[in-house]
Chains A and B, each alone.
Chain A
Amino acid sequence: MKHPLKIIPVLALIVFLAACGGDKKPAESDSTSTAAGNAQPKKTILFFGDSLTAGYGLDDATEAFPGVVQDKIDSAKLPYTIVNGGLSGETSAGGRSRIDWLLKQPFDIFVLELGANDGLRGLPVASTAENLQAIIDKVKAKYPQAKLVMLGMQVPTNMGATYSSDFKNIFPKLATKNNMTLVPFLLQGVGGVRKLNQADGIHPTEEGAKIVAANVWAELKGIL
């Protein structure tokens, strides 16, 4: 009998804490205070993604590209706070289950960065597309006003031409269908460049993350 009773306070705690989950990183809370200096009400951007968003292998998660984008927002004095919803190893199927957890907290812009792990594991392109669409549908249902951004991804050449092109095409297709802003290839100028990636060859270094952020910023700034 103890078990069900216990869940209620825990749930309450979860909902409460999820609301302020974005403030977990020192750099971001700094930016929050500078943003708070402006009179405008603060808006939230949720970056929902995998290790690229989470900043796998970097000393500090704020060095990942969403953190760099936050810096750009701050220096442009725009009233936006970024919530980093990255999780290493996340696939589109994982994101489809996890999105509910993050939907509890309202946001104004939703940036979707998923699929890279599907591609590296050679998962069927159709199922990746289906999962991403399901995530978009859930977001639209909960926050119909939110602007949507799709970050395009590609797989390494060695996966084979057919799979590579099928995979690459998922993102523009979904972006058009759902009226999303598209960043054609998130890792443009970084993917395959040895010195901008960590030893594993797939995760950008701090330097690489800056270029990635610039790729995102090029499209994102238009909708802020």
Chain B
Amino acid sequence: MDNVNYNRKINFGWLFKMAVRDSRRNRARLLLFISSIVFGIAALVAIYSFKYNIQNDINGQAATLIGADLSITGNKEPDKKLQTLLDSIGGERSEERSFASMIYFTRTQGTRLVNIKALKGAFPYYGSLETTPLKAGTDFKNGRYALVDKTLMLQFNARVGDSIKVGNATFVIAGVLNKAPGQTGIASGIAPIVYIPFKYLADTKLIGTGSRINFAYYYKFPQGFNVEKLAKKIDPALDKAEYGSDTVENRKENTGRSFGDLSRFLSLVAFIALLLGCVGVASAINIYIREKIASIAIMRCMGVKASEAFLIYLIQITGIGLIGSVAGAILGTSVQHLLPYVLKDFLPITISVSISWMAILQGIGLGIIISVLFALLPLINIRNISPLNTLRMSFEETATKRDPFRWLVYLLVVGFIIGFSYLQLGDWLGAGVFTIGILVAFLILTAIAWLLIRFTRVLIMSSWSYILRQGFANLYRPNNQTIILTVSIGLSTAFICTLFLIQQLLISQVSLSSSGNQSNMILFDIQTSQEKPLAELTRKQGLPVLSQVPIITMRLDKVNGKTAADAKKDSTLHISPRAFAWEYRVTYRDSLTNSEQITSGKFIGKAAPGRDIPVSAEERFANRINVKVGDKLVFNVQGIMMNAYVSSIRKVNWNKIQTNFQVVFPAGVLEDAPQFHVLLTHVPSQPVSAAYQQAVVKQFPNISIIDLGLVLTVLDELLDKIGYVIKFMSGFSIVTGIIVLISSVRISKYQRIKESVLLRTMGASRRQIFSITALEYLFLGTLSASTGIVIAIGSSWLLAKYRFDMPYHVNLWPVAAMFFAITALTVIIGLLNSRGILNKPPLEVLRSNA
């Protein structure tokens, strides 16, 4: 031993050779470990790839909300200065003039108010004017042709080829307009749309002094152009000219929360994919290295230096990580390509598939880094152990002394998770919070596992049956797998459940008008005497009366005794003087609707006679006039002063298409005031809508109808897509999560071989070993799954409250089912793991695995 040169140089060639040689010993076992890495990374790569592709898809679809990159609109002829600005913007441009007009169907002799749009240029640049026949959408610009809204065609029994008279000009109907991009405001639903070519606009003689025309300019820019920056730059000039601009981003924000929810959800999914990758790789590496301890000890005894042993295994692990990650990336990418193809008959959306190199690179990089980081922990211990100590196999107890490197590794792991989550989330705070959340979850699971180890030791009674004692003892005996399995099963369960719960919450928020209980038609100016007959007519047509509310117009006269003049004089009152100038549309009812939530006070549904009237104020309204619950208001109800007080303050979800109010009166005071009614209904199709409108107009000519069908189809399609994307991504992530869970339980296969074989040689029956294994896994499964679920409920609650900002209403039954499924899965895999031992003679098992 004296001639050993301890200061010898590191021979990398030899180290590599040793790393490869060592791996040759048991290729089957190695394959099992690599498979776990493969699944972890495949999950990550597939989820990332889907995410990138889907994000592009949704963004592309969102562009149809406006049909161009930028739209500039105003309601007066642009002056010279504005015209110069409009011309200087560049890109492709289309021009549109729109206005209300009465058109005349010459064949069927009907007159109807429509929204005429005269169009010049290639608009829409995103999406298309969907017409029947198909070509009419572009060809109508070639002659005196018009595109007419489908419902309108049905209402007037018009056919393609008929003529319509617009002002003084006659146009031939070239096609039926089924869908048009850019029509997403309620305003565009007031009258049905008729497109005509711009060049014949003058012939209509409708433009001139005294006409009200809306001017719109649509721009398309080359890809990568910063539209937002441009919009910001020209906005002041537009403002001055009383014009406004709109961009896709802008429209997305105004379309409601769905886009925001989707992107938050996708980053959550990406984060969970990252953690699934971690769990898959880390659990494999951890167990692999632990099994290698014996080999390392032998090498150390043969004169291998600690640093050399360390490096050999570091090289080996890097290699394994690399192979596993590349294989995982390939698998993930092929899943991403195959899945939409396989599911194309079931998916109502097309998911585009293109290889996402970003996802692949992140996957491989991540795989290698996690492999090395998690291998470092056990490897560092080896550095400090004398060969003899290592041989004694009791290293686990002695090696836990504090090693500064250990902390360095922990720090690296945490830093790495923060770094990667930053890559996904894009903000440090979010990344930090998520990482802390995961650490907390990890600590909880470790603590539970640790407690389990302590308590089972104390709890086991000698009076229990042998099998029971053996099963429980497996949880704390040396070489137990309690901590690693609890953590990996628990974390996977937590991820799966969190995704599931958040998905449930989000889907309930993506409310679609096509779902049948959402309104897509508004009837207003219904007089009190028409209220009942109209509701009857609606029901007779087979349509639901989703809501019918009375509306009373009133003004605000006093706020806590202060009048408009006081508010104007004294700005310290913080009452907006404008609040007195408005006419308020108010309703009365005895209960809240489902889009309202009381934030303070109590909603009172009935007014007590002779007392001040308890009214409910909307949050923003209350802020504007600076009132709290209990403050006094005086309303001028068309000449009658009504004393009221704020009994409650409400939060209103303004995004839903339904009647919402700033002020709600209780029942019992306004019944006799002059009022009109609004009725909301849902029409399932355009023919039904046409028939219904015809019937209403015939019986009640004064009632105005807003058909949001066309507006909502564009929006619905998008929301529909978002809804499916959320379901698809969560479904896919849950499945990959389960696969990662299976593979991380699967790698415990070799842990119990020795014990089981020994038991068999000592004469234990198959049944006994079977029961012992089942018991151990049952206990581990139950405990970690339930802990995981508790963590998931907590984390989804926090996510709902702080990240998605929505109320937490979830159905917990599916979660209970998930608990049983995961427990059962753990037991089944555990038993499958020991199947080999049970079916083969002990000696054979020992020979091939020792």
Judge if A159 is at the interface, Cβ distance under 8 Å.
yes
- Complexed CA–CA distance, A202 and B214 (Å): 13
* Chain B positions 179 through 222: 1 when the CB is less than 8 Å from some CB of chain A, otherwise 0: 00000000000010000000000000111111111000000000
**CB–CB B100/A200 < 8 A:** no
- Interface check B702, CB cutoff 8 A: yes
Q: A88-B553, A124-B701 are in contact. Are A157 and B208 (CB under 8 A)?
A: yes
A106 within 8 A of B: no
Shortest CB-to-CB span from A171 to chain B, Å, is 17
CB contacts under 8 Å to B, within A46-64, are 54, 56, 58-61
Q: Are A10 and B212 in contact (CB under 8 A)?
A: no
Q: Which of B7-15, B17-25, B637-645, B731-739 contacts A (4 or more CB under 8 A)?
A: B637-645
Within 8 A of A (CB), among B398-418: none
Grouping DSSP codes into helix (H, G, I), strand (E, B) and loop, the A interface class, with mixed when no group exceeds half, is helix
B75 close to A160 (CB less than 8 A)? no
User: Does chain B have a CB within 8 A of A36?
Assistant: no
Contact among B211, B581, B669 for A192, CB-based, below 8 A: B211
Quick check: B609 and A122 within 8 Å, CB to CB? no
Out of B210, B529, B641, name the residue touching A156 (CB < 8 Å). B210
B-facing mask of A4-29, CB < 8 A → 1, else 0? 01110111011001100110101000
Among B438-446, B672-680, B741-749, the stretch in contact with A: B672-680
A192 to chain B, nearest CB (A): 4
User: Is B557 at the interface (CB under 8 A from chain A)?
Assistant: yes
Q: Does B762 belong to the interface (CB within 8 Å)?
A: no
| CB < 8 Å A-B pair total | 153
Contacts known (A14-B672, A121-B113); A158 close to B211, Cβ less than 8 A: yes
Are B672 and A87 in touch, CB under 8 angstroms?
A: no
Q: Please give the distance in Å from B125's CB to the nearest CB on chain A.
A: 27
- Give the size of the chain B interface in residues (CB under 8 angstroms): 58
Q: Which of B75, B191, B555 contacts A122 (CB 8 A)?
A: B191
Q: Does residue B76 face the partner (Cβ distance < 8 Å to A)?
A: yes
Give the residue name and chain of the A residue nearest to B526 (CB).
Answer: A93
- A58 with B583: CB separation less than 8 A: no
Interchain CB contact under 8 A, B676 and A94: yes
Which B95-119 residues have a C-beta within 8 angstroms of A? Answer: 99-104, 111-113, 116
Find B101's partner among A93, A158, A194 (CB 8 Å cutoff). A158
B511 contacts the other chain (CB 8 A): no
Q: How far is the CB of B308 from chain A (nearest CB, A)?
A: 81
Using CB atoms, name the residue of chain A closest to B209. A192
Q: Does B528 contact A (CB under 8 A)?
A: yes
A51→B113 CA distance, assembly (Å) = 21
A60 touches B111 (CB 8 A): no
Interface presence of B564 (CB below 8 A)? yes
Q: Report if A31 contacts B (CB, 8 A).
A: no
- In the complex, whether B610 has a CB less than 8 A from a CB of chain A is yes
A98 on the B face (CB < 8 A):
yes
A87, B583: Cβ atoms closer than 8 Å: yes
Instruction: Report if B659 contacts A (CB, 8 A).
Output: no
Interface 1/0 per residue, B40-60 and A, CB below 8 Å: 000000000000000000000
Query: Which of these, B212, B527, B701, contacts A127 with CB under 8 Å?
Result: B701
Q: Give the complex CA separation of A92 and B703 in angstroms.
A: 11
- B206 adjacent to A127 (CB under 8 Å): no
In the assembled complex, which residues on chain B have CB atoms less than 8 Å from the CB atom of A94? 525, 527, 674, 676, 702
CB nearest neighbor in A for B528: A97
Measured in the bound complex, the distance between the Cα atoms of B638 and A202 in whole Å is 23
Q: Verify A93–B702 contact, CB threshold 8 A.
A: yes
Q: Contact: A6 with B583, CB < 8 Å?
A: no
Could you say which residues of chain A place their CB within 8 Å of the CB of B209? 157, 192
Shortest CB–CB separation between residue A189 and chain B, in angstroms?
Answer: 11
- Across the interface, B242 reaches (CB within 8 A) one of A9, A54, A199, namely A199
Q: How far is the CB of A98 from chain B (nearest CB, A)?
A: 4
- Nearest CB in chain A to that of B167: its residue: A160
Per-residue interface assignment for chain A, residues 128 to 162, with 1 indicating a CB less than 8 Å from any chain B CB and 0 otherwise = 00010000000000000000000000101111111
- Contact of B636 with A24 in the complex, beta carbons under 8 Å: yes
Contacts of A120 in B (CB 8 A): 100
A224 within 8 A of B: no
**In the bound complex, CA of A201 to CA of B104 (Å):** 26
Contacts A10-B669, A122-B113: A96 and B527 contacting too (C-beta < 8 A)? yes
Closest Cβ neighbor of B75 among chain A residues = A201
Q: Are the CB atoms of A101 and B638 closer together than 8 Å?
A: yes
Residues of A within 8 A of B771 (CB): none
A24 touching B210, Cβ below 8 Å? no
Distance to closest chain B CB from A155 (angstroms): 9
Q: In the assembled complex, which residues on chain A have CB atoms less than 8 Å from the CB atom of B668?
A: 3, 6, 10
B514 interfacial contact with A, CB 8 Å? no
Q: Which of A11, A13, A159, A191 has the most CB of B within 10 A?
A: A159
B565 within 8 A of A: yes
Q: Which residues of B contact A154 (CB under 8 A)?
A: 210
Interface centre among B99, B104, B207, B553, by most chain A C-beta atoms within 10 angstroms, is B553
Q: How far is the CA of A6 from the CA of B668 in the complex (A)?
A: 8
Residues in B whose Cβ lies below 8 Å from that of A98: 638, 674
Contacts A97-B674, A121-B704, A192-B211 given; indicate if A54 touches B583 (C-beta within 8 A): yes
- Chain A nearest Cβ from B778, distance in angstroms: 63
- B671 at the A/B interface (Cβ < 8 Å)? yes
- Complex CA–CA separation, A124 to B702 (angstroms): 8
B572 close to A (CB within 8 Å)? no
Chain A neighbourhood of B167, CB < 8 A: 158, 160-161
B549-573 Cβ-contact flags toward A at 8 Å (1 or 0): 0000101010000011100000000
State how many angstroms separate the Cβ of A75 from the closest Cβ of chain B. 22
Interface readout for A186-212 with B: 1 if CB under 8 Å, 0 if not?
A: 000001101000011110000000000
Interface centre among B116, B208, B212, B578, by most chain A C-beta atoms within 10 angstroms, is B212
Q: Does B88 contact A (CB under 8 A)?
A: no
A163 within 8 A of B: yes
Residue numbers in B under 8 Å from A200 (CB-CB): 75
Asked whether A5 lies within 8 Å of B609 as measured between CB atoms, the reply is yes
| Chain B residues positioned under 8 Å from A163 (CB to CB) | 102, 111
B848 interface residue per 8 A CB criterion: no
B168 within 8 Å of A (CB atoms): yes
Q: Which of A68-99 contact B (CB under 8 A)?
A: 83, 85, 87-89, 91-94, 96-98
- Decide if A97 touches B101 in the complex (CB within 8 Å): no
The 8 Å CB contact of B557, one of A5, A24, A89, A124, is A24
Q: Are B581 and A60 in contact (CB under 8 A)?
A: yes
Task: Report the Cα distance A160→B170, complex, angstroms.
Answer: 12
User: Given the interface contacts A9-B609, A22-B639, does A159 sit within 8 Å of B557 by beta carbon?
Assistant: no
Instruction: Kindly state the separation between the CA atoms of A89 and B190 in the bound complex, as whole angstroms.
Output: 14
Q: Is the CB of A101 within 8 A of B702?
A: no
Contacting pair A122 B636 (CB below 8 A): no
Instruction: Known A87-B583, A97-B674, A120-B100; judge A157-B639 contact (CB<8 A).
Output: no
CB distance from A31 to the nearest CB of B (A): 16
The answer to whether A162 touches B609, judged by C-beta atoms less than 8 angstroms apart, is no
Bound Cα distance A175, B610 (Å): 44
**Which A residues lie within 8 Å of B638 (CB)?**
21, 85, 87, 98, 101-102
Instruction: Decide if A158 touches B213 in the complex (CB within 8 Å).
Output: yes
**A82 CB to nearest chain B CB (Å):** 13
Determine whether the beta carbon of A160 is less than 8 Å from that of B206. Answer: yes
| B640 lies within 8 A of A21 (CB) | yes
Contact call A192/B210, Cβ cutoff below 8 A: yes
Query: A5-B609, A93-B702, A192-B209 known; A161 and B168 CB under 8 Å?
Result: yes
Please name 15 further chain A to chain B contacts, defined as beta carbons within 8 Å, in addition to the given A96-B527, A158-B99, sorted by A numbering: A6-B609, A6-B668, A10-B668, A10-B672, A21-B639, A83-B639, A93-B527, A94-B676, A101-B639, A122-B100, A156-B100, A157-B209, A158-B116, A160-B104, A194-B76
26 chain-A/chain-B pairs, Cβ below 8 angstroms: A7-B672, A10-B668, A11-B672, A24-B639, A24-B641, A26-B563, A59-B581, A60-B581, A87-B553, A89-B553, A97-B674, A105-B639, A122-B102, A123-B704, A156-B99, A158-B99, A158-B206, A159-B100, A159-B101, A159-B206, A160-B102, A163-B111, A192-B209, A192-B211, A201-B76, A201-B212
| 7 nearest CB pairs, A to B | A21-B639, A122-B113, A93-B702, A192-B210, A98-B674, A158-B211, A157-B211
